Structure 1
Amino acid sequence: MTERLLVGIDAGLTNVKAAAFDLEGREIAVSSLATPGVSPAPDREEQRHDDLWETVADVVSRLLREDAVDPTAVAGVGVAGHGHGLYALDADGEPPRRGIKSTDSRAAEIVDDWKRDGTLEAVREKLGWEPFGADPLSLLAWVKREEPETYAAIDRVLFCKDVVRHRLTGRVCTDEMEASVFPDSGGTDASDVFGELGLEACADVLAPVVSSTASCGTITAEAAAKTGLPAGVPVATGLHDVGACAFGAGATRPGSGVVIVGTWGQSIGVRQSPAPATEPGLSRRYLDGWLTYRGNRSAAACVDWFVEECCSDWQREATERGLDEYALYDEKVADVSPGSDGVLFLPYLRGSVANPNARGGFYGLRMDHTKAHMLRAIYEGVAITQCDALRELVATDELSDVRLTGGGARSDVWCEIFADVLDARVSTPDSTEVGARGAALCAGVAVGCYEDATEAADRAVSVGTEYDPSRAARYRSVRDRFDRVRTALEPTWVA
């Protein structure tokens, strides 16, 4: 009998990936393509629903053409995707406009207005979190103001992964984690919150909610023809990619921490109950508990930007030597001491969640500094920002374990820096595609391969490399200097 496989689809901001796993969580094959998108104006990032679906279908069909993958062995499919942003359908099930990604900042002015007139504070008390420039609520307000015809046409609000699952199954729904962005998911009076925001017409636009680890439909004949997946295979509702990465990294118990070093950076703490509204971060329902997380809008994206703009010779060298790019970068920064000989980097190339006008840049450069100093400073700036966020979400002495995931976790040097800055042991999961694995594990629970999420994680996730802090004392002074420079520059951050 052919061993059963689980397929996870992860529609991220940079890449769309599909991966097949066996029931022990071993990665059988992976397929990836760049995420489609358009940028109609500065600080605006959009995606056509059709383009997203075509990319997903292509990625899945490539996966299933791999010799190691038998399509008839696929027992279930799960889906993850970037959170926040705005994807909508009209009453006919068609998108009234392009989807808006979570890297978009068009609604920042509206959020500023809400902050000035007290709306933001009032809404935070009711929601438990504060809207920002790329969440569905602020983007709905922007659409109402700038595109009233589109606003009037919105019948259902989805999230990125829901668009994919809708095309796979024909079912319109979302999961508890994504739904907890909306006020009525936590017992809050939805009409009251939407009234505060001037969005009364949107009080009931959220798609129906189905558990992340439940089957919400099966692969349709049309989707089977596009993807190669067998018709009738169950599809799990899945998770926002932050939750999928946490699940795929094995973090299901309270006290677990996860740091995602991806295009966005995310610092995540698993909790038994939601964080109070007075605490930082966003609390979302997650499996049998809650996640609290805080984002950094540009993490590994800072490295990509720097290398593309300043280090094309490194890219050529990696290709010529057949090296993973991060293995080459580790060679380049190996001789640079902690603290980058005085160079600091503020990783706010896309602003920050708290302040969309925040700006990134280098500070402390001298003539004797090199590109290697600058790259290590990027590693350190991102690590300081994300470790500070994790400390705010979960006290260091309450962390039972910390897992590092995302593309940046391919760098041993960067992982060591995270351990040093956090002053705690950190580890990397045994798979690079943890988001896709988290989505696949949702499918595994949905079809009965695992009893529950904790059993799935315990069985299918193991630790890869562990990193112990060895330069924590040195990094305390680097963090202090980073904080002083950031505080001094904040008054200059204007629109």
Structure 2
Amino acid sequence: MYIGVDIGTSLTKAVAFDADGREAGTEAVSTRLLHPAPGRVEQDADEVFASVGTVVGRLTARLSGPVRLLALTGQGDGLWLLDDQGRPTRPALSWMDGRAAGLIRRWEAAGVPDEVFRATGNTLFPGAPAALLAWLDAEEPEELDRAATAGYCKDMVFQRLTGVRATDPSDASLPFGGGPDGYSSAALRATGLEHRAGLLAPVHDGPPAAPLSTAGAELVGLPAGTPVTSGPFDLPACARGSGVRRPGDGMVIIGTTLACQVAREKAQTTGEPSGMSLATGGGAYLRAMPAMVGTAGLDWALRTTGHGIGDLEGLLAESPPGARGVHMLPYLAPSGERAPFVDPFARGEISGLSLHHGPADVVRALCEGIAYAARHCLEAAGLDGDLVLCGGGSRSPLWVEVFSGVMGVPVTLEAGAQVGARGAVLAGLAAVGEPVDEQAWTRAPRTAAPAPEPVRLYEEGYRRYRAHLEAVRPLWAGDGAR
């Protein structure tokens, strides 16, 4: 058995896989998001670490065979300040945190994001490590002075399980251009963080691997010495777990946010700065457009209209494609948007409403708006091959029909539920030198094809979406988001 652990923003999952890649068991536990002040989102790192012990312990207690690998993945970005033992020195700053929005605007005026993008292929947004590091360096430098590492979620867990301080190329990419050669001095210089470079963990040429320590073994209930790997983080882990390896192929994770990715042969450092170029080892990259829209916005729409997630299919069936003329820009995240454009003050808008419309039209309009955002992201990322859908939103057949219609092509539906954990295991097996048939592990036979009429309607809807977006962007102001 192999166990993959996916340490998400609000849920930690442990998944067991057998030698053929079949899911043999899953455990999950929720973790909290803390909101100490408007626009600020934090997490208790000790609580997150303990959640890993809980899910792995519960899972291993009911497995019949020995566990040969513990592979970690998890949320990216944010800032996890740690001491020399990997223990937190303060609450972790989430990738959803918006305290650095004003700093991003000042950087934009000075051309900093463009410099970073030209050096690394990555853009800056309020929840990016560089923005949070620079904000703390200016506002609370003592927090950085007493930390040994400014790291990432999965790497915090890895260090406490193994004693090894390290990160992988995918996390190190954001935004400092990590990889076999380390960090980009140009990106550090542009963000004014050269003097804090010592806080960044060493970069391995793939997922770091180390034996489980005695203390780590006590937490997770596995034998000391069990191989542990760290990475890639959740976006590239999902791509690997879905079989997205051929340049031009892409995927959309319909989760809390809308993670759109396309496999590429090199980092994208030209054109308008947007998205991420994630190193995945061996000189390969993913062009990622992780929009801040997603199921968090759907939850808001359902809650606001007095419904729950169990009502989604009925609401989508009640309102026809096009939502009876209701349209929505789905930018509801407090920290704005980061793909396929960056604006920390991006906000949502509903148009076309009348007394004849009801909750179903609003919910469908948001679902269609999120699908339009996915198409916008995938076009910017260079999709020209096959497309895979996964994540919680892909469990809704009618929402999948919306995505397929908006894209105008058949979409493959990931057969397994836990693609991030699977991708972490596949990467981990490669890191420890254990051969595996990745094609067999990632085979996804289900597809959904669009009907011609919705494709025509959504093509017009997408043109309207893009025009609406361009019209409203100059009107977004920052005063209400600070």
Give the TM-score normalised by structure 2. Answer: 0.92
Match for residue 105 of structure 2? 112
Shift of 1:181: 2.2
Match for residue 199 of structure 2? 205
Match for residue 320 of structure 1? none
Match for residue 159 of structure 1? 152
Q: What amino acid does structure 2 have at the position aligned with 1:290?
A: Y
Shift of 1:382: 0.4
Residue 288 of structure 2 is aligned to residue 293 of structure 1: yes
Q: Judge conservation of contact 2:4–2:422 (CA < 8 Å) in 1.
A: yes
Q: What amino acid does structure 2 have at the position aligned with 1:36?
A: R
Shift of 1:421: 0.8
Which sits farther off after the overlay, 281-290 or 350-359?
A: 281-290
Aligned 1:52-451 pairs, distance under 5 A: 52-66=48-62, 69-70=63-64, 72-91=65-84, 93-183=86-176, 185=178, 190-213=184-207, 216-278=209-271, 280-288=274-282, 289-312=284-307, 314=308, 325=310, 328-350=311-333, 351-353=336-338, 354-395=342-383, 398-399=384-385, 401-450=386-435
Shift of 1:299: 0.4
Q: Judge conservation of contact 2:247–2:264 (CA < 8 Å) in 1.
A: yes
Shift of 1:92: 5.5
Q: 1:405 to 1:118 in 2, by over 3 A?
A: same
Q: Judge conservation of contact 1:157–1:205 (CA < 8 Å) in 2.
A: yes
Q: 1:375 to 1:269 in 2, by over 3 A?
A: same
Match for residue 482 of structure 1? 465
Which sits farther off after the overlay, 150-159 or 432-441?
A: 150-159
Question: What do residues 120-139 of structure 1 show as CA deviations (whole Å, max 9, x unaligned)?
Answer: 33333223322211111111
Shift of 1:90: 3.3
Q: Judge conservation of contact 1:23–1:460 (CA < 8 Å) in 2.
A: no
SS at match of 1:229: coil
Q: 1:57 to 1:189 in 2, by over 3 A?
A: closer
SS at match of 1:380: helix
Q: 1:192 to 1:257 in 2, by over 3 A?
A: closer
Give the whole-Å Cα distance in 2 for the aligned partners of 1:448 and 1:122.
38
Give the whole-Å Cα distance in 1 for the aligned partners of 2:305 and 2:217.
44
Residue 459 of structure 2 is aligned to residue 466 of structure 1: no
Give the whole-Å Cα distance in 1 for the aligned partners of 2:376 and 2:289.
10
Q: What amino acid does structure 2 have at the position aligned with 1:6?
A: Y
Shift of 1:389: 0.6
CA RMSD of aligned residues (A): 2.0
Shift of 1:175: 0.5
Q: Judge conservation of contact 1:129–1:277 (CA < 8 Å) in 2.
A: no
Q: Judge conservation of contact 2:371–2:403 (CA < 8 Å) in 1.
A: yes
Match for residue 10 of structure 1? 6
Shift of 1:234: 0.3
Stretches of structure 2 that go unaligned for 5 or more consecutive residues are: none
Shift of 1:409: 0.7
Give the whole-Å Cα distance in 1 for the aligned partners of 2:134 and 2:254.
30
Give the whole-Å Cα distance in 1 for the aligned partners of 2:84 and 2:20.
42
Give the whole-Å Cα distance in 1 for the aligned partners of 2:183 and 2:48.
34
Question: What do residues 428-474 of structure 1 show as CA deviations (whole Å, max 9, x unaligned)?
Answer: 111111111111222332344425xxx42x02112142011222111
Q: What amino acid does structure 2 have at the position aligned with 1:465?
A: R
**Aligned-residue identity in percent:** 34
Q: Judge conservation of contact 1:275–1:292 (CA < 8 Å) in 2.
A: yes
Give the whole-Å Cα distance in 2 for the aligned partners of 1:63 and 1:211.
30
Q: What amino acid does structure 2 have at the position aligned with 1:329?
A: L
Shift of 1:182: 4.8
How many residue pairs were aligned?
468
Q: What amino acid does structure 1 have at the position aligned with 2:23?
A: E
Which sits farther off after the overlay, 133-142 or 40-49?
A: 40-49
